Amino acid sequence: MIFTVKRGEGLRGEISVPGDKSISHRSIILASLAEGESTISGLLEGEDCLATIEVFKKMGIDISSKKGVYTVIGNGLQGLKEPNEALDFGNSGTSIRLCAGLLSSQNFSSLLTGDKSLSTRPMRRVVDPLNAMGADLVATDEGTLPINVSPVKSLHAIEYSLPIASAQVKSCLMLAGLFAEGETKITEKTITRDHTERMFMEYGLPIEIKPSGQSRTICVNKASRIYPQDIKVPGDFSSASFFILAALICPDSSIKIKNVGINETRIGFLHALRHMGANIELINLKNTSEATADILVKTSSLKGISLNTALVANMIDEMPAFFVAAALAEGKTIVKDAKELRTKESDRLQAMADSLNAFGIKNELSKDGIVIHGIGSKGTLNSAEIDSYGDHRIAMASAIGSLRSDDAVKILDCVNVNTSFPNFIDVCRQVGIDISNHE
Ligand code: S3P
């Protein structure tokens, strides 16, 4: 699928973005383990979460939807059934890594597979600590998919200090910890998105969080049962980030994005942009388990910054959008300590450097970061043809950057936008972006 995007200005409107991907996956997983009927409203109906739904259906869970509200009839902690075929997680790193933790504790075998991109992504980060808990997982010699999971008698708790800042690894071990003998203790030096912790608490699961300076330890004990809940999934801040960017960089723009999740562990992008001079306001704040707000954004003149490395983990998925903001800021932006970007749906450091090059933006790429020489808010990007490398976030960030090109821009290989933001084009049109898609 190819997107063609024309220059934009005067963006206006009130929009909603689809449900949060991270919270959607977690809600399907925990609802499937609960005893009885949970409902999930606002669930992201993107391909990644649909893949998670299919996986649980293959393990005997009844999941249906009516008018956008999903009903999940959980079978309890011991109620998953052995699937009679491989579990295909499509493009979803979150789903496969979280489910690896859960499946490692089941009394049946499973085979975990995914698409071409997922099949190249690193899995040792979950396989090794799960095996240290007594699980039996075998990946390829390269540490990639497929993963074969064999049943074991029992798992035992471990104390694990996360070697990389990863909410997926943390959540994987938390799920395994629900089935392990003893107290599983996971220490993170950098606090990553805490949706699993919050949802464990909502579900009344045995979890305790012990902060210690900048780091913290999450303690999980074996659970005996899970009671069903009614879950409301807020709009995805990562999806909202593309429209925050659009309104900031297009002249004479002002938009409102309604009901977006603003969990503090997710909004590093907002802090970084404000530091660059962005005019972003949060209104209508609601402090539920997952805080939400409406986001008001207006055209702003941005200035380059040296990005605080402490923010990287909390804006990891917004980095491609941040790089576009940096390209249209005045002066240099320096990003370090971001090598995790190379392990995403594409090598996002390389993919965005290529995108910026095509747009005519000078940049210097290093092993773990990039320096971007911004051209300022009045600058114009080259009209170009950009390869998204099949990565949804590269496609959407480049599409929004195209609004500041002097002529139409083509973005190639955009079909995976459906994994996280299936109605991206409709929402673009709602604020006045001229975008079309064709095969
Ligand atoms: C996610 C965690 C992040 C993020 C991904 C979603 C999650 O991955 O990039 O899109 O829901 O836990 P890592 O934990 O690998 O950084």
Calculate ∠ Cα 261-30-284, nearest 5°: 20
In terms of Cβ atoms closer than 10 Å to its own Cβ (0-12, 13-18, 19+), residue 376 is middle
- pLDDT at residue 214, rounded to an integer: 85
Confidence (pLDDT) at 201: 97
Last residue in a domain, options 232, 251, 276: 232
Find out whether the beta carbon of 52 lies less than 6 Å from any atom of ligand 1: no
pLDDT band at 431 (very low <50, low <70, confident <90, very high): very high
302 and 380 inside one domain: yes
Task: Report CA(166)–ligand 1 centroid distance (Å).
Answer: 6
- 409 lies in the same domain as 285: yes
Query: Domain of 112?
Result: 21-232
Element (H, E) at 102: helix 93-103
Is residue 372 domain-shared with residue 402, that is, in the same domain? yes
With vertex at residue 324, the alpha carbon angle to CA 95 and CA 276, rounded to the nearest 5 degrees, is 105
User: Does residue 323 share a domain with residue 246?
Assistant: yes
**Each residue of 330-388: pLDDT tens digit?**
999 999 999 999 999 999 999 999 999 999 999 999 999 999 999 999 999 999 999 99
DSSP secondary structure letters along 192-257: ---HHHHHHHHTT-SEEEEEETTEEEEEE---S-----EEEPPBPHHHHHHHHHHHHHSTT-EEEE
Percent of all residues in the chain with a pLDDT value above 70, rounded to a whole number: 100
| Residue 296 and residue 380 in one domain | yes
Same domain, 107 and 12: no
Average pLDDT, the chain: 98
Output the CA–CA distances (angstroms, integers) from residue 224 to 33, 76, 133, 186, in the order listed.
11, 9, 19, 20
Predicted TM-score (pTM) of this structure? 0.98
Active site residue 347: no
**How confident is the model over 35-72, as pLDDT tens digits?**
999 999 999 999 999 999 999 999 999 999 999 999 99
For residue range 294-310, list pLDDT tens digits in order.
Answer: 999 999 999 999 999 99
Distances (CA, A) of 430 to 14, 21, 102: 8, 22, 40
Tell me, using a 6 A CB cutoff, whether residue 168 lines ligand 1.
Answer: yes
Residue 354 and residue 284 in one domain: yes
Give me the catalytic one of 20, 115, 194, 317: 317
Task: Give Cα 304 distance to the centre of its chain.
Answer: 25
Residue to probe by mutation, ligand 1, list 26, 52, 94, most atoms within 8 Å of CB: 94
> Kind of pairing, strands 292-298 and 279-286?
antiparallel
Residue nearest to atom 5 of ligand 1 (CA): 94
Query: Where does a domain end: 182, 203, 232?
Result: 232
Does residue 171's CB lie within 6 angstroms of at least one atom of ligand 1? yes
Q: Do residues 228 and 240 share a domain?
A: no
pLDDT of 157 reads 98
Domain count for the chain: 2
Residue 25's CATH number: 3.65.10.10
* Residue at a domain's end among 232, 253, 270: 232
Distance CA 280, CA 397 (A): 18
Beta strands across the sheet bearing 363-365: 330-335, 370-375, 363-365
Do 175 and 224 share a domain, yes or no?
Answer: yes
What is the predicted pLDDT for the residue at 409? 98
Tokens of 206: 């045995």
SS3 98: helix
Over residues 315-343, mean pLDDT: 98
185 C-beta closer than 6 A to ligand 1: no
117 band by pLDDT with thresholds 50, 70 and 90: very high
Burial grade of 103 (CB within 10 A; 0-12, 13-18, 19 or more): buried
The position carrying tokens 């990039």 is 370
pLDDT tens-digit series, residues 163-196: 999 999 999 999 999 999 999 999 999 999 999 9
Do residues 277 and 381 share a domain?
yes
Three-state DSSP state, 292 = strand
The reply to whether 14 and 48 lie within a common domain is no
Same domain, 363 and 276: yes
